[in-house]
């Protein structure tokens, strides 16, 4: 089993309604994606960061259905892709470890405290092995070594994940006031335990697993699809935004198998904002996956995100098929 945590800091200015829609969209993933189970998402107690935890039954479920499914391409990527008018995240990253199903406690509800560590070169986590194994003051305690197979352009941020679970705030508070809690809340504390760290990050959030998650089978994917963006910009910026799409975004899309099908804009003098609707043709939803991986290596895509997307004040990103 693969245990994964997706760390998603939110951009400035995201309101509570958007945060809850975003959190629920990720939380519900195990209702739609086969092979992904125990999905839960929560807002960190101390920062504007949503943590999404989930398990994959095996590597094939991660590289297959998860990467190719429509729920990923539309619902999840709407919030994650920097070229989406609905993107509300920044500096996202993931970490994961593998475990044997019987060896990991299955707790339905509580508080999760995720301690992410980058252990200094030449050291290992044996210095805290006894503390992890005893899990004193916790409902469960599991230490995993990050083993993600594919590393993004951002590199591998962490070497170890210490997953701590607490039944309620009272148990969490008691642990944080204890000797072990104080020692494992700072880099200095870990150093005193004999474990020097290059980096340390801790997230704490509520979680609740679903007892009725039953994803449907992976759908057949031979249907032509239309990726459609509606971007709202200030009326004075409409021409510049369209010019950026023509110069950079459309060529990137076409080169990756998605030629422009149509582009429309609202008529002039109807208000302070203009809506620009663009549709690109894709062979299928699955055809979006290689495009996803091509984005950060393409200077045109990067330039469009850097220069044009700040003009966008709202909009939608959807995949359509013929009715």
Three-class HEC string of 27-83: HHHHHCCCCEEEEEEEECCCCCEEEEEEEECCHHHHHHHHHHCHHHHHHHHHHHCCC
Strand order in the sheet with 225-234: 260-265, 273-282, 225-234, 312-320
Are residues 24 and 67 both part of a single domain?
A: yes
Q: Examine the fold and report which residue of 208, 237, 254 is the final residue of a domain before the chain moves on.
A: 208
Give me the CATH number covering residue 289: 3.30.70.100
Are residues 203 and 229 both part of a single domain?
A: no
How confident is residue 156, by pLDDT bands cut at 50, 70 and 90?
Answer: confident
Cβ neighbour number for residue 193 with a 10 Å cutoff: 13
Are residues 34 and 183 both part of a single domain?
A: yes
Are residues 97 and 242 both part of a single domain?
A: no
What is the pLDDT at residue 197? 95
pLDDT: is 2 or 216 the higher one? Answer: 2
How confident is residue 63, by pLDDT bands cut at 50, 70 and 90?
Answer: confident
Q: Which two tokens stand for residue 225?
A: 């699809």
Residue 130 scores a pLDDT above 80: yes
What digits encode the pLDDT tens for the residues 198-241?
999 999 999 999 987 777 777 665 789 999 999 999 999 999 99
What is the pLDDT at residue 174? 98
In 3D space, the residue among 190, 188, 121 whose CA is nearest the CA of residue 162 turns out to be 190
What is the pLDDT at residue 105? 73
Are residues 203 and 231 both part of a single domain?
A: no
Residue 150 scores a pLDDT above 80: no
pTM: 0.92
Are residues 157 and 48 both part of a single domain?
A: yes
Question: What range does the domain containing 17 cover?
Answer: 2-208
How confident is residue 23, by pLDDT bands cut at 50, 70 and 90?
Answer: very high
What digits encode the pLDDT tens for the residues 286-305?
899 999 999 999 999 999 99
Are residues 47 and 192 both part of a single domain?
A: yes
What is the pLDDT at residue 323? 83
Are residues 199 and 89 both part of a single domain?
A: yes
In 3D space, the residue among 306, 292, 42, 8 whose CA is nearest the CA of residue 150 turns out to be 292
Q: Examine the fold and report which residue of 154, 173, 208 is the final residue of a domain before the chain moves on.
A: 208
Residue 297 lies in a domain: yes
Q: Could you give the count of Cα atoms lying within 13 Å of 301 in the half-sphere of its Cβ?
A: 17
Residue 72 scores a pLDDT above 90: yes
Q: Return phi, psi of residue 232, to 5°.
A: -100, 125
Residue 213 lies in a domain: no
Residue 216 lies in a domain: no
pLDDT: is 149 or 119 the higher one? Answer: 119
Q: How many degrees, rounded to 5, is the angle at CA 48 between CA 42 and CA 50?
A: 30
Mean pLDDT, the chain, integer? 93
């Amino acid at each position: 089993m693969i245990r994964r945590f997706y760390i998603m800091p939110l951009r400035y200015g995201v309101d509570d309604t958007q945060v809850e829609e975003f959190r629920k969209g990720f939380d519900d993933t195990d209702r739609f994606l086969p092979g992904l189970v125990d999905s839960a998402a929560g807002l960190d107690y101390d920062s504007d960061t949503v943590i999404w935890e989930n398990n994959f039954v095996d590597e094939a479920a991660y590289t297959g259905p998860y990467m190719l499914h429509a729920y990923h391409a539309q619902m999840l990527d709407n919030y994650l892709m920097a070229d989406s008018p609905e993107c509300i995240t920044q500096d996202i990253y993931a970490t994961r470890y593998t475990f044997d199903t019987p060896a990991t406690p299955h707790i339905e509800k509580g508080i999760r405290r995720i301690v992410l560590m980058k252990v200094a070169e030449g050291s290992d986590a044996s210095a805290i092995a006894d503390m992890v194994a005893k899990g004193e003051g916790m409902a469960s305690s599991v230490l995993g070594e990050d083993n993600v197979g594919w590393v993004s352009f951002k590199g591998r941020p962490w070497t170890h994940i210490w997953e701590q679970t607490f039944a309620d705030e009272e148990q969490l508070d008691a642990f944080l006031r204890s000797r072990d809690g104080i020692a494992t809340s700072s880099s200095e504390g870990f150093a005193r335990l004999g474990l020097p760290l290059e980096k340390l990050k801790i997230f704490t959030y509520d979680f609740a697993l679903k007892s009725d998650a039953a994803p449907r089978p992976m759908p057949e994917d031979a249907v032509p699809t239309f990726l459609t963006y509606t971007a709202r910009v200030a009326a004075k910026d409409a021409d510049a935004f369209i010019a950026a799409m023509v110069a950079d975004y459309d060529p990137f899309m076409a080169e990756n198998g998605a030629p422009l099908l149509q582009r429309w804009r609202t008529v002039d003098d109807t208000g302070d904002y203009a809506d620009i609707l663009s549709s690109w043709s894709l062979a299928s939803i699955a055809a979006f996956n290689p495009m996803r991986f091509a984005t950060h290596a393409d200077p045109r895509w990067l330039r469009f995100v850097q220069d044009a997307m700040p003009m966008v004040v709202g909009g939608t990103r959807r995949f359509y098929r013929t009715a």
